[in-house]
Amino acid sequence: MQSAPIPIAIVDDHTLFRQGLISLLAEFPEVTVVFDAANGEEMKRRLSAGPLPQVILMDINMPMMDGYEATLWVRQHHPDIHVLALSMFEDDPPVIKMLKNGAGGYLLKESRTTDLVHAVVAINEQGFYLNEKVSVKLLRNIQGNPAAGTPLEQLSQNEIRFLQLCCSELTYKEIADQMHLSPHTIDNYRQELFQKFDIKSRTGLALFAIKHELFTVK
């Protein structure tokens, strides 16, 4: 059971959003805001000064140092701090890029405050928070469940290549062109992988690829 409040930081370039979120979160004993910052550069200075948060709520689009670069920096210099990406958009490419750079999950900014607190608690306890785009089965797999076996043995070389390309910003049609296959064949790969591993979305495919080191995080 959560006893002490989880120290968190808010990194977002919109001052009113940060202030509003701080005010809303003050009503929840599960969390406490230790600092807020307008971009990644300011976040780095605040982390150097302390105290350190356990979870950072990270905006994606920011000046000077955006969420992608800031998340990668946190992963490299403070690997024990979890990053929860906050996004206004549900598009897959930004989410996938944030996850590749080290974020443990993402949440839409329009989410309820109770959902945000739930996400903070989950990512603090489990290391990951994944929304409805990713199944519980995949979540266990991402977290290193030893019972997961060796799913790569079930994949063809084309399926492996398809999963690798799912980590890119290419559309499915562009992936088909890259692999010299028809869009229909790519659709078949996607549906077969969805069914085989209980995956729900392209984000889930990318997470699967990252987990099994088909794509190396840089």
Q: What is the pLDDT of residues 169-209, one digit of tens each?
A: 899 999 999 999 999 999 999 998 988 888 888 888 888 88
Phi, psi values for residue 32, rounded to 5°: -145, 135
Is the predicted pLDDT of residue 148 greater than 90, yes or no? no
Mean pLDDT of 56-69: 93
Phi, psi values for residue 108, rounded to 5°: -70, 145
Is the predicted pLDDT of residue 36 greater than 70, yes or no? yes
pTM above 0.85, yes or no: no
Q: Tell me what pLDDT residue 132 has.
A: 56
For the chain, give every domain's residue range. Answer: 6-131, 146-211
> 146-211: what CATH class?
mainly alpha
Compute the mean pLDDT over every residue in the chain, rounded to the nearest whole number.
Answer: 84
Least confident of 108-112, 128-132, 210-214: 128-132
Mean pLDDT of 23-41: 94
CA angle at 96 for the pair 176 and 107, rounded to the nearest 5°: 135
Q: Tell me what pLDDT residue 130 has.
A: 66
CB atoms within 10 A of CB 56: 27
Kindly write down the DSSP assignment for every residue of the chain, as one continuous string.
---SPEEEEEE-S-HHHHHHHHHHHTT-TTEEEEEEESSHHHHHHHHHHSPPPSEEEEESS-SSS-HHHHHHHHHHH-TTSEEEEEES---HHHHHHHHHTT--EEEETTS-HHHHHHHHHHHHHHS-B--TTS-HHHHHHHTT-GGG--GGGG--HHHHHHHHHHTSS--HHHHHHHTT--HHHHHHHHHHHHHHHT--SHHHHHHHHHHTTSS---
Mean pLDDT of 93-110: 82
Q: Tell me what pLDDT residue 195 has.
A: 86
Is the predicted pLDDT of residue 96 greater than 90, yes or no? no
> 6-131: what CATH class?
alpha beta
Q: Tell me what pLDDT residue 114 has.
A: 92
